[in-house]
């Protein structure tokens, strides 16, 4: 039995769908199973990551675990429960910001994910880490601005990323779960090309049949705005990652194709798949 943690968020939901579509036995954790909206045949079990005692029924009989965690959540109680329940394999969706072998990680995003990775390694189970930097779904942050006009305002228009379609991440996870040959492996997932934010917006505009433009906003202005309702260190780390990718192409690899058997979906396809989210 495979348990998906984070099953109603983007990556978890897509992974549940990929597993169910392949006829795999999959269970999904949800605080509100009646509102999960997952495919027929998926077992949805009530549980709350902040209440480890509630996780017992969800972990019963589970041998493989796919883990998508909200930033900052203490993973130790969940991992302790998973170990006690006899979980044999953990696939963790991690961050490409992690620097292997570093005495100190470069930012809070990397530090959090590196910490969870270390805790999983210490469990003595088979593990695989899927790392990615900027998923294509980050573009959904533009939706509110585009409801009121054709201009997106933000920092670092030239920041580049090889953005990844969430379906590719899900299919990569599904390919690894329950399979041999992936234990102890770290896979960095990329899309098929490096795109700046301006180039992403241009492709999105084509999918929406709209003339969109990116208006540069100073980083400090954005930092102050976002820090009003997000953790300030997290915001700083995110913006610093964008600075580090400005003016140089993002790495591209064939890992998605290696794991799934098909090339990664281009950003243009992601834009077409999500066009309705921008109306």
Instruction: Report the pLDDT value the prediction gives residue 36, as an integer from 0 to 100.
Output: 86
Please tell me the predicted confidence (pLDDT) of residue 219: 82
- The separation between CA 209 and the C-alpha centre of its own chain, rounded to angstroms, equals 28
Q: Tell me the sheet residues that pair with 227.
A: none
102-158 pLDDT per residue, tens? 999 999 999 999 999 999 999 999 999 999 989 999 999 999 999 989 999 999 999
Mean pLDDT, the chain, whole residue set = 93
Q: What is the mean pLDDT of residues 2-26?
A: 92
Residue 266 is given by DSSP the state P
Cα atoms found within 13 Å of the Cα of residue 69, Cβ hemisphere only: 29
Q: How far is CA 238 from CA 30, 141, 160, 243, in A?
A: 28, 14, 13, 9
pTM of the model: 0.93
pLDDT band, residue 256 (cuts 50/70/90): very high
pLDDT at 114: 97
Tell me how far apart the alpha carbons of residues 44 and 34 are, in angstroms, rounded to a whole number: 9
Question: Using one digit for the tens of pLDDT, what is the confidence trace for 197-250?
Answer: 999 999 999 999 999 999 999 988 888 888 888 888 888 888 888 888 998 999
How confident is the model over 163-171, as a mean pLDDT?
Answer: 97
Residues 114/144, Cβ–Cβ less than 8 Å: no
Q: For residue range 17-46, list pLDDT tens digits in order.
A: 999 999 999 999 998 888 888 988 899 999
Query: Which helix (DSSP H) or strand (DSSP E) does residue 273 occupy?
Result: helix 267-273
φ, ψ for residue 46, nearest 5 deg: -75, 135
Domains of the chain: 2-135+166-190+251-264 (3.40.50.720)
């Amino acid at each position: 039995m495979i348990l998906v943690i984070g099953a109603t968020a983007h990556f978890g939901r897509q992974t549940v769908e990929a597993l169910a579509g392949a006829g795999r036995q999959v269970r999904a954790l949800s605080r509100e199973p009646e509102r999960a909206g997952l495919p027929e045949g998926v077992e949805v079990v009530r549980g709350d990551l902040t209440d480890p005692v509630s996780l017992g029924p969800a972990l019963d009989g589970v041998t493989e675990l796919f883990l998508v965690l909200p930033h900052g959540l203490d993973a130790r109680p969940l991992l302790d429960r998973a170990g006690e329940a006899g979980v044999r394999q953990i696939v963790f969706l991690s961050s490409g910001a992690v620097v292997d072998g570093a005495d100190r990680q470069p930012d809070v995003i990397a530090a959090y994910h590196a910490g969870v990775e270390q805790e999983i390694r210490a469990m003595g189970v088979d593990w695989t880490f899927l790392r990615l930097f900027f998923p294509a779904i980050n573009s959904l942050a533009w939706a509110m601005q585009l409801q009121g006009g054709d201009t997106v305002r933000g920092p670092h228009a030239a920041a580049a990323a090889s953005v990844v379609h969430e379906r590719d991440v899900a299919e990569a996870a599904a390919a690894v779960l329950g399979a041999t040959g992936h234990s102890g492996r770290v896979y960095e997932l990329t899309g098929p090309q490096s795109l700046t934010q301006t180039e992403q917006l241009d492709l999105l505009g084509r999918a929406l049949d709209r003339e969109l433009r990116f208006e540069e906003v100073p980083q400090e202005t954005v930092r102050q705005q976002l820090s009003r309702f997000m953790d300030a260190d997290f915001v700083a780390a995110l913006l610093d990652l964008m600075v580090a990718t400005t003016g140089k192409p993002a790495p591209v690899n064939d890992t998605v194709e290696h794991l799934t058997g098909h090339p990664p979906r281009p950003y243009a396809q992601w834009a077409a798949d999500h066009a309705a989210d921008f109306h």
